Homo-oligomer: A and B are copies of this chain.
Amino acid sequence: MTAARPRPRRTRPLPFSERAFHEWARRRLPAGRAATLPLGDDTAAIPLGEGRVALLTTDALVEGIHFPADAPPAAVGEAVAAASLSDIAAKGGQPLALLVDLLIPANTPPRWAQQVTLGAERAMARFGAHLVGGDTKPAPRRSVVGTVLGIAPAGRLVPRSAGRPGDVLAVTGAVGRGGWASLHWGERHRARGREAAELVRIRPRVREGQRLARRAHAMLDTSDGLAEAAHLLAAASHLKVILESTRLPLHPGLVRERPSETRKPSLAFFGGDYELLAALPASAVGAARRALLPLGCPFTVVGRLERGRGAWIDDGRRRRRLPRAGWQPFVSFEN
């Protein structure tokens, strides 16, 4: 008779790491090594010849994670278009067309699909672009995938990687819309009509991006939070990012809620802001601000780039490492 074998220890699988997957793809795929814009830049740039590049970017929204089950479907359609429009904006591109994939239970009312479609079309039409096609497939839970094609002059693409030491960092609009929305996320099943719509509303900075592209060295959107954008910019540009906490233009909703001082940073950095973070010479800020003025868009200096590594936050008294406090979909989902 043999002794009982020790039972193998069951380990809980780690949540899928999007960041590790991106790293892997960058190393492993030809496009990661050779593309005009690196993989992980959220927008792919495909040379078309004649000084132009096609921009291609996609975002997926899943019911119960990115939108409440009772969110107005038109708002979901707007959001899925706007998420990709925001990536096109960060490259200074002009959107041309959107495809939408609807993965939906077979008993989904036609009206739901139609309203998503109309919302997405409305978001595109603001920029002279249109919803031109898609796919519908049965699935156990509703998901909506949007893919936007844009176009940009090849010489004016603004990568994440070309920030320079001495550049200032400035952000369009306000910081913390996503954090504010997250405060109400627990109430999502009660949210109705305008309130639910506001929870998923995104205003992509397409025209702002086109105007900033002429002046910025590096640019990206803040869809995973300003902190995450700062980290990504620092890593891609091989520089140190310093954000000044006292200069952050907080979203009015967040100011109204008066979160505690401890909680404020995590809300400000939560994600879902869809603003643009640009690195540009201090001397160009005035012109950039004037260019954005007719669009009614504030442009606030929130920090600077220095030689060094990592992302830091300075409250005027001391400087601390900036936590990667942004929205991490797989981790958030797991908890």
Asked if A110 is at the interface of the complex by the 8 Å CB criterion, the answer is yes
- Give chain A's interface secondary structure class: mixed
Assembly CA distance A249 to B97 (angstroms): 38
Interface string of A1-41 (1 = CB under 8 A from B): 00000000000010111101100110011110001000101
For the complex, give the distance between the alpha carbons of A19 and B298 in Å: 45
Interface segment, one of A136-144, A214-222, A230-238, A256-264: A136-144
Within the assembled complex, what's the spacing in Å between the Cα atoms of A132 and B87? Answer: 15
A149 at the interface (CB under 8 A from B): yes
Assess whether B66 is in contact with A137, with CB atoms less than 8 Å apart. Answer: yes
Q: How far is the CB of A191 from chain B (nearest CB, A)?
A: 21
Q: Quick one: which of B42, B57, B334 contacts A106, CB cutoff 8 A?
A: B334
Q: With A131-B31, A132-B31 in contact, is A107–B13 under 8 Å at CB?
A: yes
Given contacts A30-B121, A58-B133, A329-B138, contact A104 B16 (CB under 8 A): yes
Contact flag A137-B97 (CB < 8 Å), given A113-B21, A145-B145:
no
- A114 nearest CB neighbor, chain B only: B24
Tell whether A134 is near chain B: CB-to-CB under 8 Å: yes
CA distance A247 to B46 in the complex (A): 43
Q: Which residues 97-149 of A sit at the B interface, judged by CB distance below 8 A?
A: 97, 99, 101, 103-110, 113-114, 117-118, 121, 125, 130-141, 143, 145, 147, 149
A210 interfacial contact with B, CB 8 Å: no
Chain B CB within 8 A of A86 CB: no
Q: Tell me if A202 is interfacial: C-beta within 8 Å of chain B.
A: no
B65 touches A138 (CB 8 A): yes
A114–B108 CA distance with the chains assembled, in angstroms: 32
Does A96 make an interface contact (CB < 8 A)? yes
0 or 1 for each of A145-182: is its CB under 8 Å from B? (1 = yes): 10101010000000000000000000000000000000
A293 close to B (CB within 8 Å): no
Q: Which of A48-56, A282-290, A305-313, A314-322 contacts B (4 or more CB under 8 A)?
A: A48-56
Alpha-carbon distance between A161 and B211 when the two chains are bound, in angstroms:
41
Give the shortest distance, in Å, between A77 (CB) and chain B (any CB). 12
CA distance A318 to B13 in the complex (A): 61
**A170-209 vs B, Cβ < 8 Å mask (1 yes, 0 no):** 0000000000000000000000000000000000000000
Asked if A250 lies at the interface with its beta carbon under 8 angstroms from chain B, I say no
- A41 and B132 CA atoms in complex are apart in Å by 10
Chain B contacts for A137, CB-based, 8 A: 60-62, 65-66, 143, 329
17 pairs of residues in contact across A and B, judged by CB atoms under 8 Å: A15-B107, A16-B136, A21-B110, A24-B114, A29-B121, A30-B130, A31-B97, A41-B133, A48-B151, A56-B97, A58-B145, A59-B135, A62-B103, A103-B145, A106-B333, A136-B330, A138-B329
